[in-house]
Amino acid sequence: MISKPRFDRRQFLSRSVQAAGLLALTGCDGLSANDSLRSLLGLTERVTLLVHRAVVPRAAMAREYPDADRSAVFPANGNTDPNNPAYDELAASGFRDWRLSVTGLVARPSQFALEVLKGLPSRTQVTRHDCVEGWSAIAKWTGVPLRELMERAQPLPSARFIVFHCADRDEDRVPYYESIALEDAYHPQTILAYEMNDQPLDVPHGAPLRLRIERQLGYKQAKYLTGLELTDNLASFGKGKGGYWEDQGYEWYAGI
Amino acid sequence: MIDQAPTSEDRANTPDIEWRHNAPADPSDRMIPVAPREAAVYRHTLPVRVSHWLNAVCLFVLIGSGLQIFNAHPALYWGNRSDPDRALLSIRSVRADDETFTGITTILGHEFTTTGVLGHSSGRHRAFPAWATIPGPQWLAMGRQWHLFAAWLFVLNGLGFWAYGWLSRHFTRDLLPRHQEWRSIGRSLKDHLRLRHPTGEAAKQYNALQKLAYASVVLGVGPLIVLTGLTMSPTLDTALPWLLDVFGGRQAARTLHFLACWAFVAFVVVHLFQVILTGTINNLRSMITGWYRVPREVSRHDQQTSV
């Protein structure tokens, strides 16, 4: 007998908790569309970047794995076919006429043919690729350290970012692009790779040249490179957030 | 007399009144008589209360947004790679010939049909259903923003709570089971299973099982979920490469992070159950104001007959 009112109270409480939970969940959805809250959440990225810059040594290296640890199948994600006739033409001739341009805030704007890049000092690394979705795959990459190109192009003191122009377009023909901080270009493992697992880069993985910036997530590893542009501000590219995925709400700093 | 701080004489002369003790800073509040036979103890200090509620909000957001992130690649592995044929767990949606969909959850090679909850729910291919994720629709970028924001708060709050817990001796005094308590765990467990809770003097401090639950969350699962979270950061892996070795690789860290999340969920479920069972209002009040009313002493015999 005594237990009856208690049971009702419990039921009332559990219903209240359910209602509060539902309210909170839908609340989060409403808040997700609120601009000032989004800018508050966006603060996180700046804090993370500041803290990482403060605690992670500039020269700290991403782990390099033995050849045997490589993935049997390395997923090709994002655009796997550039969807661009000009690219198809270059690919048909084995990228003979392809050039990588280096422009913007540099003392010596220049162009590099693929064979020229292959003639520069190279670095080979077996590293882990961490996709923002959650999966990881390991592959061997060979390419020219970005530092080599910077030393040739000579960035002006005002340059802060490198924008990577890419040949790929999504199904709505929106071009892919990416950007990194200039200082990250000088990390030894930041390379422009032309080989994957000892083979020339294939089309799904970004032929003829892609970025490897091993300390950040997969979407920073721009494929199908056509040009590098040094700049002091990202606002004039794409929708102004510094990259194709960044323009869709992903963090520009993809170190976590 | 009630407005005055009682003297020791008063206390001696009024044996029926119990007194609040361990009161907060203001000395005039220190000794206030309350209703006879109903002692109130100042159980939770302000830093503990603030930290508790901040933590509750953080966990709510972290779990929902964590499931949102998991949904972007609903499978778990050991080691550094995510080889599709070596998944420890995977949740997927399978289409039959008649255009119907089945949610399939595979755990260590065993398949379970989980349509409606895992794999396929409300007409969509989703590992975890919309009601469990923040935000509700599939939206990885926003899930990450919620998750990383709440993670920072959770870590800062946790560090503050840790510093306070050790410095104030709250952990050693109230949370770490004492030597003799380890031996009483069996009885404590039996009492819990019979939903019989300590009263009177015994209810003024945490019992052995309670201490064990809180201590393993504060000193075990909490640090584990933070460190495995950090292991998933490719940048932090360069500064703290030992993280990859300690947890068995980046994908293993992701698996442990997921398991630690469910340990938190289990803890919260049991915690809320106990809060309701031992007096929702009293427990809520104590975590808001600090004051906990000690349940009147009930002999074992009384308790058995009333239940």
Identify the pLDDT of residue A23: 64
B182 has a pLDDT exceeding 90: no
Asked if A255 lies within 8 A of B236 by C-beta distance, the reply is: yes
Q: Are A130 and A138 in contact (CB under 8 A)?
A: no
Mutate which of A22, A46, A73, A133 to test chain B, going by most B C-beta atoms within 10 A?
A133
Distances (CA, A) of A99 to A144, A178, B143, B263, B291: 15, 18, 39, 54, 73
Token readout for B186 is 């069996």
Tallying the residues shown for chain B, one arrives at 307
Per-residue pLDDT tens digits for A231-250: 999 999 999 999 999 999 99
Residue A256, number of CB atoms within 10 A of its CB: 23
> Using a CB-CB distance cutoff of 8 angstroms, which residues of chain B are in contact with residue A26?
136
Of the candidates A23, A63, A77, A108, the one whose C-alpha atom is nearest the C-alpha of residue A214 is: A63
Identify the pLDDT of residue B23: 43
Cα of A135 to nearest chain B Cα, Å: 6
Give yes or no for a cis peptide into B135 (omega within 30° of 0). yes
Q: What percent of chain B has pLDDT over 70?
A: 84
Q: What share of chain B is helix, strand, coil (3-state, %, to 5)?
A: 55, 10, 30
Mutate which of B65, B81, B283 to test chain A, going by most A C-beta atoms within 10 A?
B81
Buried b (16+ CB within 10 A) or exposed e, B264-277: beebeeebeebebe
Asked if A56 lies within 8 A of B239 by C-beta distance, the reply is: yes
Identify the pLDDT of residue B2: 38
> Using a CB-CB distance cutoff of 8 angstroms, which residues of chain A are in contact with residue B237?
62-63
Count Cβ atoms within 10 A of the Cβ of residue A172 and give its class: 0-12 exposed, 13-18 middle, 19 or more buried.
exposed
Identify the pLDDT of residue B91: 97
A13 has a pLDDT exceeding 70: no
Run of H or E residues at A90: helix A85-92
Identify the pLDDT of residue B200: 81
Residue with tokens 């050039």: A99
Conformation bin of residue A198: beta by default, left when phi > 0, alpha when psi is -120 to 50: left
CA angle at residue B112 from B111 to B117, to 5 degrees? 140
Asked if A60 lies within 8 A of B239 by C-beta distance, the reply is: yes
Per-residue pLDDT tens digits for A31-78: 777 778 888 888 999 999 999 999 999 999 999 999 999 999 999 999
Average pLDDT over every residue of B260-287: 95
A150 has a pLDDT exceeding 60: yes
Average pLDDT over every residue of B231-247: 98
How does strand A225-231 pair with strand A99-104? parallel
Contacts with B, A 20-59, CB within 8 Å: 22, 24-26, 28-29, 32, 38, 40-45, 47-48, 52, 55-57
Indicate the residue of B64, B250, B272 with minimum beta-carbon distance to A28.
Answer: B64
Average pLDDT over every residue of B140-159: 97
B13 band by pLDDT with thresholds 50, 70 and 90: very low
Question: Does residue A241 sit in helix, strand or coil?
Answer: coil
Identify the pLDDT of residue B300: 52
B5 has a pLDDT exceeding 50: no
Conformation bin of residue B200: beta by default, left when phi > 0, alpha when psi is -120 to 50: left
Contact residues for A253 (Cβ-Cβ < 8 A; gap 6+): A45, A48, A49, A52, A216
Q: What's the mean pLDDT when you consider all of chain B?
A: 86
- The partner residues of B42 in beta bridges, in order of sequence, read B291
- What angle separates helix A35-55 from helix A3-32, to the nearest 10 degrees? 80
Indicate the residue of A26, A133, A138 with minimum beta-carbon distance to B72.
Answer: A133
> Using a CB-CB distance cutoff of 8 angstroms, which residues of chain A are in contact with residue B235?
52, 56, 215-216, 255-256
> Using a CB-CB distance cutoff of 8 angstroms, which residues of chain B are in contact with residue A25?
64, 131, 134, 136
Which residue of chain B comes nearest to A29, CA vs CA? B135
Residue A85, number of CB atoms within 10 A of its CB: 8
B28 has a pLDDT exceeding 60: no
> Using a CB-CB distance cutoff of 8 angstroms, which residues of chain B are in contact with residue A249?
141-142, 145
Asked if B80 lies within 8 A of A72 by C-beta distance, the reply is: no
Token readout for A132 is 């923002």
A192 band by pLDDT with thresholds 50, 70 and 90: very high
A30 band by pLDDT with thresholds 50, 70 and 90: confident
pTM greater than 0.95: no
Q: What's the mean pLDDT when you consider all of chain A?
A: 92
DSSP B259: H
Cα of A138 to nearest chain B Cα, Å: 7
Indicate the residue of B134, B237, B280 with minimum beta-carbon distance to A63.
Answer: B237
Residue type, B290: G
CA–CA gap between residue B36 and residue B229 (Å, rounded): 51
